[in-house]
């Protein structure tokens, strides 16, 4: 069986991962994966879906986590990824501000002091 347009049918995925199509449908029913559908309601799986399914199998078979637990863990993973993005952006913004502040301070130091001129006033 070969991949078409980057998508796999449920039969292809089942063969690749050695699981029953029913199991894959069950994962979807539990909200763990969301393969897109064709106009004819046929499930189409991406490479990312396959990676997710591998992760699900690893959690359930090797660690004994049930599907509800895997669902929570996958949600947490996504949240952590989003938090990493936020932290990264904050770091960039903070570094930029610090740089600007330092540039401002150094420019003040470099300014030449104003010349003081002594003026003599002669009286009668």
Partner DNA sequence: GTTCTTACA
Partner DNA sequence: TGTAAGAA
Q: Which residues lie near DNA (CB under 7 A)?
A: 9-12, 19-23, 25-26, 37, 41-43, 60-61
State the minimum distance, in angstroms, from the CB of residue 42 to DNA. 4
**CB 43, min distance to DNA, A:** 3
Least distance in Å: CB of 72 to DNA?
17
Cα–Cα dist 22/14, whole Å: 9
Are 8 and 44 in contact, with CB atoms under 8 Å apart?
yes
- 1: CB partners within 8 A, 6+ apart: 11, 12, 15
Please, which residue, 31 or 79, has the CB nearer to DNA? 31
């Amino acid at each position: 069986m070969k991949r078409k347009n980057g998508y796999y049918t449920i039969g292809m995925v089942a063969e690749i991962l050695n699981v029953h199509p029913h199991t894959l449908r069950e994962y979807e029913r539990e909200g763990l994966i969301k393969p897109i559908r064709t106009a004819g309601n046929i499930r189409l799986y991406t490479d990312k879906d396959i990676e997710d399914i591998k992760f699900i199998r690893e959690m359930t078979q090797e660690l004994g986590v049930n599907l509800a637990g895997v669902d929570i863990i996958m949600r947490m993973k996504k949240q952590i990824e989003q938090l990493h993005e936020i932290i990264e952006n904050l770091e960039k913004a903070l570094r930029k501000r610090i740089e600007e502040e330092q540039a401002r301070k150094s420019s003040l130091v470099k300014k030449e002091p104003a010349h003081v001129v002594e003026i003599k006033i002669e009286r009668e």
